Amino acid sequence: DHYIDLIYLVYHIGYKTGVGIDLAKKIRELNKYIKIFLMTAFDISDLKNNPDYKAARIDNLIQKPIHFSDLRNMIISALKTSV
């Protein structure tokens, strides 16, 4: 058996389309324990108050650009706290 512990989405999560957040919500419906990271180039300052974002229970919202070492540390930390 294979288990997925983390999904790293680099997907368009624009405020008008919300496609990335919708995808994260669908993933969350299938697996309530999986860690979901979303990366975007959009401003994320007010996204955390968005009801759809909250419903998706995204573990890490990342704004580009990001240093690889920071991303690696986020992934390591998330996997340490996996159920």
The pLDDT of residue 7 is above 80: no
More confidently predicted of 35 and 83: 35
pTM of the model: 0.74
DSSP code for 81: T
In the block, residue with structure tokens 């540390």: 73
Read off the pLDDT band of 31 (50, 70, 90).
Answer: confident
Which secondary-structure segment (H or E) carries 80? helix 68-80
- DSSP labels for 12-75? ---TTT-HHHHHHHHHHHH-SS-EEEEEESS--TTGGG-HHHHHHT-SEEEESS--HHHHHHHH
Stretch 66-74: mean pLDDT? 89
Say what the pLDDT of residue 22 is.
85
Reported as a single tens digit per residue, the pLDDT across 44-58 is 887 778 888 888 898
Q: Which of 82, 83, 18 is nearest to 56 (CA)?
A: 18
Residue 5 structure tokens: 């512990």
